[in-house]
Amino acid sequence: MKLTPLHRKVLAYLEPLPADLLDPTIASFTQRTQVKLSQAVTHLLRHSRGTEPMVWDPWILKDGEVYRLFYLKGVEGQNPWWTISNICGAVSTDLEHWEELGTLLEPDPQNDWESGRVCAGCTYKEDDTYYLFYSAGGKEMPHLRNEGIGLAVSKDGLQFSRQSNRPLIMPDPDDLWYGRSNWTNHFHWRDPYVLKDETTGKYYMFICASAKATGQFQGCVGLAVADRITGPYEILPPVVEMTDHWAYYHMERPQVIYRAGKYHLFFSCFKMFFEQTWLQRERHQRITNSSLYWYTSEQIAGPYHPVDPDDYVVTGSEKSGLYGTNFLQISEEPEEFIAYGWYHRLHTLETSRVFQVSWDVTEPAKRSLSIVLSSI
């Protein structure tokens, strides 16, 4: 689960180059050349790593002295690659040596809405029970492009059982705020991240979703709230207000952290899924596939706004080579965070301490947070 320093260095050099093109017929000669180069080098890197499985989208629960890793495992050569996946697990005491636990949750062919894939989510432990919130999609159309959110529970963190054959939460077709993508007809409703408001005791779920809006770029972070962790959840408006010339097709793997009196929202978006005229206008060198975007709010339910209108990419994330980056607090005294995710070019995980997080709340916001490659 850990690359060699040489692999990481090569990926850092590759990161500014496009990994793929949505429409090669309208790409420039330079763009096509860059893609060919990046794909050729990526192929060599994959070959050098042998027959490692195709894995992505990790999330980690710190459970006392044990780290519990959850991640997705797919099938090499599947097209599209995301249409088949199981949730697998591993445990570690040092984030370096992992004991594999095998498959923890797999698609259920009896339920159309989750018959094809189970996808990323989060795991929460409360009262000696593990709550695994996951997203899922079907095997055949129309369920292939529909997503829902489910819940499975466990007493030992090894054997998980679904709480229902129906989604825990899914908007109705006539929902006021959420709908299908106008571009791909995909119903985005995935990547649930649950945060408990310690003041009110309520549970807030942040979700990768599509807003009901005109145009092709409707990416938003949805929200739902419940009095109990198992629900029922009430659907609320998106936490980020869409502006004119909205740039995001999707806002994936949202994570919210409360720190220094503010709520901090982080999310990812592949570069080719940005509105391209906006991207050309920005010409921001720090917008890559691995860039992690940073918004803040005074209230847990938002609205969230860029930490800095001109610079809201977490420093260092743009060259990490990781996608879907999350933060994990591994120590309180002294306070210490790491960044982890998956190398999107290799479909392999990075869940060690190699990416340290420097987060100084005494500094001005745009300079206070960075991801640093350590010498470990």
Q: How confident is the model at residue 301 (pLDDT cuts 50, 70, 90)?
A: very high
pLDDT digits (tens, 9 = 90+) for 168-224: 999 999 999 999 999 999 999 999 999 999 999 999 999 999 999 999 999 999 999
61 pLDDT more than 90 = yes
pLDDT digits (tens, 9 = 90+) for 46-56: 877 777 789 99
- The b-or-e profile of 234-248 (16+ CB within 10 A means b, else e) is ebebbbbebeeebbb
86 pLDDT more than 70 = yes
pLDDT given at position 318: 94
Q: How confident is the model at residue 41 (pLDDT cuts 50, 70, 90)?
A: confident
Distance CA 229, CA 290 (A): 31
pLDDT given at position 286: 84
66-73, strands of its sheet edge to edge: 55-63, 66-73, 86-92, 99-105
pLDDT digits (tens, 9 = 90+) for 13-33: 889 888 887 777 777 888 888
pLDDT digits (tens, 9 = 90+) for 327-337: 999 998 888 99
Where are the chain's structural domains? 5-373
1-15, 125-139, 180-194: least confident range = 1-15
Residue the block writes with tokens 């007809």: 185
pLDDT digits (tens, 9 = 90+) for 251-292: 999 999 999 899 999 999 999 999 988 888 776 668 999 999
148 pLDDT more than 70 = yes
pLDDT given at position 210: 97
Q: How confident is the model at residue 367 (pLDDT cuts 50, 70, 90)?
A: low
Residues 6+ apart with CB under 8 A from 362: 368
How far lies 217's CA from each of 72, 174, 256, in Å? 26, 20, 22
What CATH class does 5-373 carry? mainly beta
Q: Are strands 189-196 and 203-210 parallel, antiparallel or unpaired?
A: antiparallel
> What is the residue type of 350?
E
CA angle, 227 then 233 then 235, to 5°: 125
Distance CA 99, CA 86 (A): 18
How far lies 241's CA from each of 6, 37, 245, 298, in Å? 41, 38, 12, 15
Q: How confident is the model at residue 366 (pLDDT cuts 50, 70, 90)?
A: low
Where is pLDDT greater, at 369 or 59? 59
Write out the two tokens for 376. Answer: 């470990």
Judging by beta carbons within 10 Å of its beta carbon (0-12, 13-18, 19+), is residue 280 exposed, middle or buried? Answer: exposed
188 close to 250: Cβ distance less than 8 angstroms: yes
Q: How confident is the model at residue 326 (pLDDT cuts 50, 70, 90)?
A: very high
140 close to 123: Cβ distance less than 8 angstroms: no
